[in-house]
Structure 1
Amino acid sequence: MLPLQLLLLLLLLLVLLQQQLLLLLPLLLLLLLLLLPLQLLLLLLLLVVLLQLQILLLLLLLLLLLLLLLLLLLLLLLLLLLLLLLLLLLLLLLLLLLLLLLLLLLLLLLLLLLLLLLLLLLLLLLLLLLLLLLLLLLLLRPYYYVYYYYYVYYYYYY
């Protein structure tokens, strides 16, 4: 049983005792034994008391209204807290996504830089090979001429 319902039940029992309506007490126990919902039981008791006493009923209804208002405020606060938590979670997820995107962008930039470096290295290697070939040609040129002149000399004079 909820504390609110228990409080209401005790209040109604006090009213019954004040009005000397103790004959309704066995009926109350019987209804409890039959496992009727407590709200229905309270409603029945309220109807009985309503005929006897209007002032106390008004106070009771006021108390009920205040308690319901308090419960509603509590529920609203809980809902607000849940909404705030959800918003925080969404913000965290967005931040994580942004971080992941930044990391991916950084990785892509690094890969591009590496590719550029590799291309530059390849170009340098090609240039070096070209220079080596040129050097080789320059170095072999005198031998070529010597060989050529030797061949011409040998061919024509012998």
Structure 2
Amino acid sequence: MLLLLLLLLLLLLLLLLLLLLLPLLLLQLLLLLQQLLILLLLLLLLLLLLLQLLLLPLLLLLLLLLLLVLLLLLLLLLDAALFT
């Protein structure tokens, strides 16, 4: 009976520890997501430069610029969410 109580107490302590560590894990995930977004933005900028050199249609260029702006906004929102 005592062993069962000790096991239950240990389980409760582990659960509490997990609840305390959860925000840190979420923060790590958000930071990773932010880094992936930055990488995506850099790749998109490179693609825009290449397209500029190839002189592709203006509409495609404008669409890519719009995507770039949307990604930047998403990055800013994520940044704001991280540091509040």
Structure 2 length-normalised TM: 0.45
The structure whose Rg is larger is 1
TM-score, length of structure 1 as denominator length: 0.28
